Amino acid sequence: MDELQKIKIRTFLKEFKKFASSKRGIYLIPREESLKTLADLGLTKKNFKEIIMTLSVMDYCEGPKKDIDRSGEIWVFGKQIGGKEIYIKLKVAQVSGNKIAKCISFHPATFPLCFPFQPNERKEES
């Protein structure tokens, strides 16, 4: 089961990064909490994209989960940035017949994140 899940995660990340690399880039939903996090961490749109593009199976937390607000699936990842554990919620969304890379959330985790594919030593550091 773990290997099958890793394949699903890699497939999602490959598709997400393909759309993120397009001219449209990554659409960050402009929620106050996400915008404040970018500002607090001193991240530009370019830095933000670079961080997202480095996500891997090791950063996976959960998903796919059904998006309760719109069609599609949501995937959750986490990343240590500036000494903070950042909660990152992503999806490949369908907009006007085109697929786009969409970041729904990017903010400090409000609860400890679970990283099922990280080595035990790294899980304990989180």
Mind listing the pLDDT tens digit of every residue in the chain (126 residues)?
699 999 999 999 999 999 999 988 999 999 999 999 999 999 999 999 999 999 999 999 999 999 988 888 999 999 999 999 999 999 999 888 889 999 999 999 999 999 999 886 444 444
Domains and CATH numbers, the chain: 2-125 (3.30.2310.40)
Give the model's pLDDT for residue 51. 96
Helix, strand and coil in the chain, % to nearest 5: 35, 35, 30
* 125's tokens: 């550091």
The answer to whether 26 and 48 have CB atoms below 8 angstroms apart is: yes
Give the model's pLDDT for residue 97. 84
Give the model's pLDDT for residue 71. 85
Cβ burial of 34 (10 Å; 0-12, 13-18, 19+) is buried
Give the model's pLDDT for residue 83. 92
Core vs surface per residue 83-109: b (16+ CB within 10 A) or e: eebbbbbbbbbeeeeebbbbbbbbbeb
* 123's tokens: 């899980």
Strands, E assignment, 6-81: 26-28, 60-66, 73-81
